[in-house]
A and B are shown apart, each in its own frame.
Chain A
Amino acid sequence: GESVGLHLPTLSVQEGDNSIINCAYSNSASDYFIWYKQESGKGPQFIIDIRSNMDKRQGQRVTVLLNKTVKHLSLQIAATQPGDSAVYFCAENIGQGAQKLVFGQGTRLTINP
């Protein structure tokens, strides 16, 4: 999972396996959550989002789960590929109207061949 600090949490997964990245968010009033993927030298890339009126949302090979009771968000990546290696950030919208996103510190995912 994610934590505030100098060192990114890391997760190593064998190619083809499933991975789960966890995130704890802070604001119980947050109504919108996003997962981003960041590769070296690039900006964060949108993966999937979910609103607070949902518990689960699926995309292509990715699933986001939201547990509002414990303020927990997770990203599941199925059948991981080498290209999935990156830093993954969760973000919560704490603002009204236009998105005011607060990002977690990130988790580094490494896919081993």
Chain B
Amino acid sequence: DAGVIQSPRHEVTEMGQEVTLRCKPISGHNSLFWYRQTMMRGLELLIYFNNNVPIDDSGMPEDRFSAKMPNASFSTLKIQPSEPRDSAVYFCASSLGGDGPLHFGNGTRLTVT
């Protein structure tokens, strides 16, 4: 089992640029989650999908953030335009429906200068 795969592992970009983070969930898992981790705020849920449908996006900071899940094996989190305060580690996680723990990828460390 390859686990949750995220890319890139590191992303450095300039303020104003578009950033796209990618995630491949564990095969067979039908729930997918995007989290953000910072020293100040810890781990925060941004959005989650169930069967490729967004269920709760109340954690998305603002309209600059968007997430898609075009199929069961791929999701993207996009920030446009990016700002320095978006700098954080972004984690993707997946789970088998509503029962069972989340399994996390190793994250994308985003730095916006």
A and B: interacting chains:
yes
Give the interface of A toward B (CB within 8 A): 6, 34, 36, 41-46, 49, 89, 95, 97-106
| Pairwise interchain contact B50-A97, C-beta atoms closer than 8 A | yes
Which partner residue on chain B sits nearest A49 by CB separation? B101
Which B residues, 53 to 83, have Cβ-Cβ distances below 8 Å to chain A?
A: 55-56
| Pairwise interchain contact A97-B42, C-beta atoms closer than 8 A | no
| Pairwise interchain contact B101-A100, C-beta atoms closer than 8 A | no
| Pairwise interchain contact A43-B91, C-beta atoms closer than 8 A | yes
The answer to whether residues A100 and B104 also contact, given A43-B4, A44-B91 and a CB cut-off of 8 A, is: no
Tell whether B25 is near chain A: CB-to-CB under 8 Å. no
Give the interface of B toward A (CB within 8 A): 4, 31, 33, 39-40, 42-43, 45, 48, 50, 55-56, 91, 93, 95, 97-98, 100-107
| Pairwise interchain contact B4-A98, C-beta atoms closer than 8 A | no
Which partner residue on chain B sits nearest A43 by CB separation? B104
Contacts of A100 in B (CB 8 A): 45, 48, 56
How far, in Å, is A40 (CB) from chain B's closest CB?
Answer: 11
Residue in contact with B95 in the complex, picked from A41, A45, A89, A99, CB distance below 8 Å: A99
Residue in contact with A45 in the complex, picked from B42, B45, B50, B104, CB distance below 8 Å: B104
Which partner residue on chain B sits nearest A48 by CB separation? B101
| Pairwise interchain contact A43-B98, C-beta atoms closer than 8 A | no
Whole-angstrom distance between the alpha carbons of A96 and B18 in the complex? 34
| Pairwise interchain contact A99-B102, C-beta atoms closer than 8 A | yes
Whole-angstrom distance between the alpha carbons of A49 and B99 in the complex? 11
Whole-angstrom distance between the alpha carbons of A42 and B93 in the complex? 12
Which partner residue on chain A sits nearest B51 by CB separation? A98
Which partner residue on chain B sits nearest A2 by CB separation? B42
Which 3 pairs from chain A and chain B are nearest by CB?
A43-B104, A103-B43, A97-B98
| Pairwise interchain contact A46-B48, C-beta atoms closer than 8 A | no
Contacts of B45 in A (CB 8 A): 100-102
| Pairwise interchain contact B103-A46, C-beta atoms closer than 8 A | yes
Whole-angstrom distance between the alpha carbons of A98 and B54 in the complex? 12
Which partner residue on chain A sits nearest B44 by CB separation? A103
Contacts of B105 in A (CB 8 A): 43
